[in-house]
Amino acid sequence: MCNVRISKGTCKISLENQKMVVNPSNTINNYYSFVDYSIIFYSTTRFHLSTGVNMKKFFKNLKESFKIINFVILLPIYFIGIGLSKILWYFSKLISKESRNGWLESEKLSKKLKNYEEMY
């Protein structure tokens, strides 16, 4: 018997006498775990389809589970986006003579508060 409860930010999965608590937000913080989301997705789907109750809740849980879609988005971003950037970077490096090696002269720290408000 598989029982799944998803409250805000936490997913509790009971498999017979064994209990497991998965916290998706914490999982993201501690480096995204594909396996954890797979477990949530599989368990929620199977549970709700087998019982056939509360479809609204099912879709809400499904939306949460579809954070896994990040995987589908990130794959093309990486291989196309970063790949193209790599080509551009390679050519720019041929032109640029900028070096990050050795001691570099530091820029003066800004005394303007405005510059510290910038995230860059």
User: Binding residues for another protein, per CB under 8 A?
Assistant: 25-26, 28-32, 70-71, 74-75, 77-79, 82-83, 85-86, 89, 100-109, 113, 116-120
From the list 9, 43, 59, the residue with the least C-alpha distance to 29 is 9
Smallest separation (angstroms) from another protein to the CB of 46: 25
Task: Give the C-alpha separation, 11 to 20, whole Å.
Answer: 8
Q: CB nearer to another protein: give 17 or 106.
A: 106
Q: CB nearer to another protein: give 95 or 104.
A: 104
The token pair at 105 is: 């002269």
Q: CB nearer to another protein: give 28 or 62.
A: 28
- Type and span of the H or E element at 19: strand 18-22
